[in-house]
Structure 1
Amino acid sequence: MRSVVKRTARAILLDEEDRMVLIKRTKPGSPPYWITPGGGVEPEDTTVVEALRREVFEELGGKIGRPVPAFVDTVPEPGGVKIQHFFACRLESMDPALRHGPEVDEPNGEYDIVRVPFTPSGLASVGLVPAGLAAYLRANVEGIHTLLAGDLG
């Protein structure tokens, strides 16, 4: 078994109008791409969900409802693999004025908060990465909604 060298927590984040909240990343000299809010699990995070809540607050000034595991992506990295945990959750509140952290304080390019319809065509309208997540979401819009229905237990 390969060694896990990094873990991330990322939000499949839907707002009250069933739009997906994403970050459009534009780096100098590169075409833009779209990512879900989230980032690395830090040593001070006691759980992956705690890391998720911290990252959403840092990147969006946002608070989320109950996160539900929805997708896992395994990416080869030097010395092992990076595991990306994606959680379906609802946006409870957001104040971009509260954003902080390296993405905001020392940006490498632009980090724009965008919302796209959470439909197969809405998801296909942006260059969402990783590609495996984009394909999974386009095929499972209804499934994500059932994860957020609140009757899982």
Structure 2
Amino acid sequence: MKMKQRVRAILITPAGTTLLMKRVRPGRAAYWVVIGGGVEDSDATREEALLREIREEIAGTAEILRPLHQLVNRAGETEFFYVARVTQWSFDDRSGPEFQKEDRGEYILDEIPLTRAAISQLNLLPEEISTVLCETLDRGELLSSP
């Protein structure tokens, strides 16, 4: 059995902010994650999987600009992070299956300034992507090719 792959996008809004998902679960401190999810067998590519996840999670339309980072998470899954521009979204119209499960806690869409100061104050998981995002912002390379 091959390990599941996950795809996530640092979504840059027209206002120059980013959209993150705040997770509130019983018995756990609130934390934020980058929008995205698992690659399904029906997805032709990782990029198509990411665009599907953006549609499901925030009813959003995005343009993938470039890969940003790759890591292996604690579950042993490979996660691929991309930089993308999001042009429209409607959290009220989200359709992802995770939103139907009562035991998953709350999902809150948060618009966060795309600055080191704002990102570093969040409990953004996995921690490695928080570090990578802050370092990329410090270098002014988020919108440029590495």
Please confirm whether the aligned pair reaches a TM-score higher than 0.5, indicating the same fold: yes
Question: For 1:36-72, what per-residue CA distance to the aligned partner results, in whole angstroms no more than 9, with x for missing partners?
Answer: 1000001111100011001011111111013311110
Q: 1:106: Cα distance to partner? A: 1.7
> TM-score, with normalisation over the residues of structure 1?
0.87
On the 8 A contact 2:57/2:94 being kept in 1, the answer is yes
On the 8 A contact 1:11/1:36 being kept in 2, the answer is yes
1:87 aligned residue = 82
Matched, 1:40 2:38: yes
Q: 1:111: Cα distance to partner? A: 0.4
User: Which residue type is aligned with residue 39 of structure 2?
Assistant: V
Task: Report SS of the residue matched to 1:113.
Answer: strand
Structure 2 residue runs of 5 or longer lacking an equivalent are none
Matched, 1:129 2:95: no
Matched, 1:118 2:114: yes
2:71 aligned residue = 73
User: Which residue type is aligned with residue 106 of structure 1?
Assistant: K
Q: 1:129: Cα distance to partner? A: 0.7
1:96 aligned residue = 91
Number of residue pairs matched by the alignment: 143
Partner Cα distance (2:94, 2:3) in 1: 27
Task: Report SS of the residue matched to 1:45.
Answer: coil
On the 8 A contact 2:47/2:64 being kept in 1, the answer is no
User: Which residue type is aligned with residue 101 of structure 1?
Assistant: G
More displaced 10-residue stretch of structure 1: 68-77 or 40-49: 68-77
Task: Report SS of the residue matched to 1:28.
Answer: coil
Partner Cα distance (2:44, 2:108) in 1: 29
Partner Cα distance (2:34, 2:46) in 1: 15
- What is the Cα-based RMSD across aligned positions, in Å? 1.6
Q: 1:74: Cα distance to partner? A: 1.4
More displaced 10-residue stretch of structure 1: 90-99 or 45-54: 90-99
The structure 1 residue matched to 2:49, chosen from 51, 55, 64, is: 51
2:141 aligned residue = 143
Partner Cα distance (1:65, 1:101) in 2: 20
Q: 1:97: Cα distance to partner? A: 2.7
On the 8 A contact 1:103/1:111 being kept in 2, the answer is no
Task: Report SS of the residue matched to 1:36.
Answer: strand
Closer/same/farther in 2, CA of residues 4 and 139 from structure 1, 3 Å limit? farther
Q: 1:4: Cα distance to partner? A: 5.3
Structure 1 residue runs of 5 or longer lacking an equivalent are none
Closer/same/farther in 2, CA of residues 43 and 87 from structure 1, 3 Å limit? same
Percent of aligned positions that are identical: 29
Matched, 1:13 2:8: no
